[in-house]
Each structure stands twice: as structure tokens, then as C-alpha cells.
Amino acid sequence: MIAVVKQEATNDQLQGFIAWIENRGFKTHVSQGDNETIVGIIGDTTQIDPFLLESMSIIERVQRVSEPFKKANRKFHPEDTVVDCGHGVLIGGGNFQVMAGPCSVEGKNLIRIARLAKEAGATMLRGGAYKPRTSPYAFQGMGEEGLDLLLEARAELDMPIVSEVMDPRDVQLFVDKGINVMQIGARNAQNFNLLKEVGKTNTPILLKRGLSGTIDELLMAAEYIMSEGNTQVILCERGIRTFETRTRNTFDLNAIPVLKHLSHLPVVGDPSHATGYTRYVRSAAYAATAAGADGLEIEVHDCPSEAWSDGAQALTPEQFADAMRRIKLIREAITADLSERD
Ligand code: PEP
Ligand code: MN
């Protein structure tokens, strides 16, 4: 971290600042230029609040040199992390996976949808048993019964299951039931107690970006999980809030290459929540694939008009099957070795 000291600061003030920093266990390196004096602060500067330094009268500005996320940072872990989701399904490091299924687990139709999704090429089954709904009067999910339906589908189809956990008190239940991947939803992306709780498990985590979360906030949320010991984190771009109202959210496609540059964790795109309308989901899925995502999470329902949540953005199994064929071609195009070509 570097602190730029104002030109008008006296030497006494500068020495006072240096003493303040060093008293906290950091080393300093002062570089006196013609126009400004820069104090380099050496040590674990994640412990320093840059805003506090900037509030000091002699400080012009403060800049971090290294990012505050360490465990999620590619600088300290250059190779891609490969997350083992169970049932032979790996994601990251060149392994591309598609999680598909209804927004909510609604009952016996789950197995029907799951069979069709698998047939079309889905490699993981998603379904929410605990649903974060904007209205307390909307369907809140089937709870434990919903998890059991996912387990039944998994037993028949031999594919890992992904489901959202909303409450730290439910984490142990998910672990006891052997849910393969716990999803942290956008609304809980900064629920630090929940992040710490899932961080104490060995279960892979699908971590969604917050509704208005920055890329750095997403990485710091991953850091919360990883700092507790769980390094099996998959990042998910699911659209963010902007001024645009034509779609449910604005799909931040940039986030995919940016996250892959900054972090070694696998990155997936969720074109369903990113757009909110079935008619746009496939385009967004293709774009995320082309942007280099390690996978996709797509909502699929065999009768979207009867879905208990998010029917407006569900693909039918036929639409999903068509999308999967094209996604496969896009993957082939972007991973092709062109070195032999003219
Ligand atoms: C979901 O996956 O159904 C969901 C609620 O997603 P998000 O947290 O991204 O809104
Ligand atoms: Mn949904």
C-alpha cells in the first residue's frame, strides 16, 4: 500500500505519520520526489483501512498495490482451481459444465425435468428448496422435502445436485444430506456469517455475485469462504442492477474474463437471472460461453407457465436441448487449437 503525502506537509507531520504506521507493526519506505512524497507501507496491509489514512489531513491519497483477496487471487495461485462436484463432474481448468433445472423444486415434476435436462446434455441438476423471494407471501420453497426430491433425482440420474442454502442454521442439514454443491444466492453474497459457515465445510460452493456487488466484493465474498478453509468455490456472474429496465438485470459479460484474470477459481454464467426473459436467455448463454466461462447455470421447466417461480425466464427442455448443441459448438470454436492453420 502506498500513501501519497500532501506537498504542504511539514517534516514533523511526515515523521508523525511514519511513527503511527510503524507503531502498528508495519515497515515503511519513504520516497521523496520533487513534487510529492510517497510512503510505501510494507506488511499485511489488509489490516489497514485505506479510508482512515485518507481521512488524515496530510494524506493526499492512498493506493493499494496488492489486492486484499489473497486466497482467491491468481497471483498467489497461478493454476486454475478444478472443483470436484462429485459423480465424476469437475469444473474449471478446461472442464466446462452446465447446471440446469427448475428455479424451485416443486414436486414430482423435478425428476421429469431432470431426465430431459440430462438427455439434452446438462451435467448437474439445479433446484431451489429454500427460496429467497422478494415477497414474504410468495412461495418460499419446499424446504427439506425439496432437498429429498433432489436426492431422489440424483440417485436415478447419477449427476451432482446444486441447491441454495440461505440460513447458517441449515448448512449442517445440507452437509448431512450430502448436497453436492451449496449455492449462495445473490441476496446473500454479503451475508458474512453464512459465508463463514459454508467456509467451514468441504462442500463445493456456487457463489453468486450480489445484486449490486462489484467484482471485488464478489472476490472478497469468496475470500470469506476460503479463509475458513473451504477452497472449493465456483464464482457466478448472474447480472447486476443498473439503470436498464428492459431486462431483469444487466449481464456483466466483462466480469467473466476479468474474474478469470484476477482469480484461479472457476467462473460460471447464469443467463437466466441475468436477463429474466426466456427469449433472451439463449443469446446470453452463448455470449457467456464465448467469453470463456467454465460453465453455465440455466433454469429449465417443462411447463414454464405453471412454474412456481421464475417461469418467465425458464427454457423449455426443447429450447434447452437446442441451446446445448450450439453451446457445444461455441466451446469447440473458442478452445480450438489453431496453431496448425495458415
Ligand atoms: C436462483 O438461482 O434461483 C436464484 C435465486 O438466483 P440469484 O440468487 O442469482 O437471484
Ligand atoms: Mn430463479
For 322, the 3-state DSSP assignment is helix
The residue nearest atom 1 of ligand 1, judged by CA position, is: 103
CA distance 21 to 42: 10
> Which ligand neighbours the alpha carbon of 166 most closely?
1
Asked if the model's pLDDT at residue 41 lies above 70, the reply is yes
Q: How far is CA 164 from each of CA 141, 143, 167, rounded to the nearest angstrom? A: 10, 10, 10
DSSP 275-317: H-SHHHHHHHHHHHHHTT-SEEEEEB-SSGGG-SS-GGGPBPH
In 10 A of CB 93, how many CB atoms? 13
User: Mean pLDDT throughout 287-307?
Assistant: 98
User: Mean pLDDT throughout 31-60?
Assistant: 92
> Which ligand neighbours the alpha carbon of 189 most closely?
1
Asked if the model's pLDDT at residue 341 lies above 90, the reply is no
Asked if the model's pLDDT at residue 34 lies above 90, the reply is no
Whole-prediction pTM: 0.93
297: which strand partners?
99
What local confidence, expressed as pLDDT, does residue 35 receive?
82
What local confidence, expressed as pLDDT, does residue 342 receive?
65
User: Mean pLDDT throughout 84-97?
Assistant: 98
- Round the average pLDDT of the chain to a whole number and report it: 97
Beta carbon of 238 within 6 Å of any ligand 1 atom = yes
Asked if the model's pLDDT at residue 49 lies above 70, the reply is yes
Residues in the 5 Å CB sphere of ion ligand 2? 103, 310
CA distance 208 to 226: 15
User: Mean pLDDT throughout 309-319?
Assistant: 98
Percent of the chain surpassing pLDDT 90: 95
Task: Please choose from 183, 235, 252 the residue to mutate so as to test ligand 1's pocket, defined by most ligand atoms within 8 A of CB.
Answer: 183
The residue nearest atom 10 of ligand 1, judged by CA position, is: 186
